[in-house]
Amino acid sequence: MKNKTGRNTLALLPSNLVIDSASNHFYRIGLSLHKNNCLKRSRIYNPTIIFLVFNLYMFRALIASQLPNNFDFVAIGDWPYYLGAKFHLNMSVASFQCLALINQIIHYLNYRKNIKPSYLKLFEMLSGSVEPQSLGLTNEEDIYRLAKRSKLFFRLTDWMLKMLTISAYLLGLIPCGIHATLIQLIIFVIPWSIICGFAGHYASNFILYQIIHYQIICYYLKIKLERVNKEIKAMLEFKIRFNSTNVQKINKKLVSIYAEIKEYNDNYWAKFLFCVLVSMIFNLNMTSFQILFGKMDLLSRLMIIIYDILFMFLLVILTNTSASVNFEANKSYKLLNKLMIMTINHKITNTKQLKVFDKRFIFHSNLIFL
């Protein structure tokens, strides 16, 4: 089956748009246990190791936040203390690790309950193993838009992860290293900075890739809703009447999309969104208080401001992405109402014309009889 451009809309994505391993990325980073055609995973992304690192660094942060100021904080690699934000930054770090840990636990429970991640079918299409039409995507322009944007998102995420991993290692090393002796540097600071780097890398991996997956899923759902809305607009433009056949066709498409949204929410994403929003708001409260009222040097304050900007940026992305799908869904109701009103007006006009015709017919009949 070919469209106007002569391209086969049923075929798989071309190689230049394929995103390798898009469908099994959660498995490769140790978040999910669903392999999804992934043959092997690096040993550093073993879920058990990641689970232990999260717990170790989370409890380290919680304990450090409660220790007295005369404690030797080099021994536990407590860099927030040397930035002048012992309590608030440690609580923020613990919250971030807890968020990643909860996400891993939810994925594990879904795996044990045999709840398969149905949303990964979209990423199977992006990896070139599933045809777009199996997802209800038949317009070539929509498919290319989705594939290109997804590829850009994954590239940006890879770049951000490299920056955040390097930052995590340096953050664990420099503040404590400045205040440590050579022996303390070798025994305490370097091991803790390595753990800090891995904890930051694992948590950033989990959170950022899930945000990107959520972004792509919402964009895909928005595209499908836009396509239905364009069909309704075409009916309004060409004044196609709202008959039972058109109603069934549009309703079937909308019900299918809404059922898909509900399935994704019930499967995982509603829980993810709730946890992320709670964690981000908590982090912003902790760091904002420290920026406004904490006793810190200028460099440390600027670092936390950048950290806050990143979190606010992610928060805006999440809320805007969710709102875009809701906005497009609400637009469907408005367009359908317009179509119904146009059909009713058309029927009323036809009825009036029929009545006028009947009156003229009766008048002419009376003249003939007279």
Domain interval for residue 140: 22-232+253-326
* CA distance readout (Å), 40 to 36, 46, 50: 11, 11, 17
**Long-range contacts at 265-270 (CB < 8 A, ≥ 24 apart):** 267/110, 267/115, 267/117, 267/118, 267/119, 268/106, 268/107, 268/110, 268/117, 268/119, 269/119, 269/214, 269/217
* 2 in a structural domain: no
Which residue type does 266 have?
Answer: D
> Average pLDDT of the chain?
83
The predicted structure's pLDDT at residue 298: 83
* 176 in a structural domain: yes
Q: What is the mean pLDDT of residues 180-196?
A: 93
- Of 10 and 345, which is predicted with more confidence? 345
Which residue type does 112 have?
Answer: R
The predicted structure's pLDDT at residue 128: 83
CA distance 32 to 313: 26
The predicted structure's pLDDT at residue 303: 83
Q: Which of 57, 92, 100, 64 is nearest to 291 (CA)?
A: 92
Helix (H, G, I), strand (E, B) or coil at 8: strand
* 351 in a structural domain: no
Number of domains forming the structure of the chain: 1
For the beta carbon of residue 131, count every other beta carbon within 10 angstroms: 16
Residue 147: left if φ>0, alpha if ψ -120 to 50, beta else—which one?
alpha
* 144 in a structural domain: yes
Candidate from 70-79, 198-207, 333-342 with smallest mean pLDDT: 333-342
* 109 in a structural domain: yes
> Across-strand partners of 2?
8
The answer to whether 74 touches 80, Cβ cutoff 8 Å, is no
Looking at residue 135, what DSSP letter applies?
Answer: G
The predicted structure's pLDDT at residue 304: 85
Q: For the whole model, what pTM was predicted?
A: 0.85
Model pLDDT for residues 109-159, shown as the tens digit of each residue: 999 999 888 888 899 888 888 888 888 888 888 889 999 999 999 999 899
CB hemisphere CA count around 9 (13 angstroms): 16
CA distance 206 to 100: 6
* 17 in a structural domain: no
* 64 in a structural domain: yes
- Of 236 and 178, which is predicted with more confidence? 178
The answer to whether 89 touches 172, Cβ cutoff 8 Å, is no
With a CB cutoff of 8 Å and minimum separation 6, the contacts of 52 are none
* 345 in a structural domain: no
The predicted structure's pLDDT at residue 39: 67
